């Protein structure tokens, strides 16, 4: 009986691994949408989405995937035909893109929150999803803990997000309680 239970557990683990591996695939030629406002330095998008990068790819922008392997994702904006590269683990593509634009939730935003998102702003009362859509991936999800190798789901579990202006300057720290912004401001531990 123990052998049967162990074999059953192994089969379940293998199937869940296969399912999760399949879910992480973003195929060449596939259409996707920017999950958040993405900031690029030239044609490179970095995982920490620093405010100093002025080249903005607005949330919901339709893209076509050109490459999705290893440490980068290549894509082309459908509207401008400009190509970009994301310097990030391609298995964590869900931090940057969704396959279904409805998943972003833009149509549910109130006019004032839509304005915040368009300007990359954050105010008390916004949900984690709304902040993510507006500011993108935070540089840190706890004091000294980068989000670089974290998935979207792992980032959403954190209640403090730290955004950077540039490599040395802080932009804003966002604190959540029950998934809602309760405080924004300077960095603290």
Q: What residue spans define the domains of the chain?
A: 31-98, 108-185
Task: State the CATH class of domain 31-98.
Answer: mainly beta
Give the residue-averaged pLDDT of 83-95.
Answer: 89
State the pLDDT at residue 92.
87
Look up tokens 């993510």; give the residue.
Answer: 132
- pLDDT at res. 138: 94
| pLDDT tier at 29, thresholds 50, 70, 90 | very high
> Which residues, in sequence order, are CB contacts of 175 under 8 Å at separation 6+?
159, 160, 181, 182, 183, 184
C-alpha angle 164-169-175 in degrees, rounded to nearest 5: 45
Q: What is the pTM of this model?
A: 0.83
Please give the residue that has the higher pLDDT: either 13 or 27. Answer: 27
pLDDT for residue 20: 36
**Adjacency order of strands within the sheet including 145-146:** 145-146, 140-142, 160-164, 170-177, 180-185
- Residue entry with tokens 């008390």: 124
Between 111-118 and 128-135, two packed helices, what is the crossing angle to 10 degrees? 40
Has residue 22 got a pLDDT over 50?
Answer: no
Run of H or E residues at 132: helix 128-135
């Amino acid at each position: 009986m123990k052998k049967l239970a162990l074999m059953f557990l192994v089969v379940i683990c293998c199937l869940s691994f296969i399912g999760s591996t399949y879910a992480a695939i973003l195929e060449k030629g596939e259409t996707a949408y920017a999950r958040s406002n993405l900031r690029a330095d030239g044609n490179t998008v970095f995982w920490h989405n620093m405010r100093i990068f002025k080249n903005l790819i607005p949330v919901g922008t339709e893209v076509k995937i050109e490459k999705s392997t290893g440490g980068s994702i290549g894509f082309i904006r459908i509207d401008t035909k400009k190509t970009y590269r994301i310097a990030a683990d391609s298995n964590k593509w869900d931090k940057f893109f969704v396959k279904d634009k409805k998943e972003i939730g833009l149509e549910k935003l109130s006019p004032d929150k839509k304005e915040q998102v368009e300007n990359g702003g954050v105010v008390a009362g916004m949900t984690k999803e709304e902040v993510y859509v507006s500011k993108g991936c935070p540089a840190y999800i706890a004091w000294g803990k980068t989000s670089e190798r974290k998935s979207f789901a792992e980032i959403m579990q954190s209640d403090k997000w730290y955004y950077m202006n540039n490599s040395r300057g802080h932009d804003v720290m966002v604190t959540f309680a029950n998934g809602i912004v309760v405080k924004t401001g300077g960095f603290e531990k």
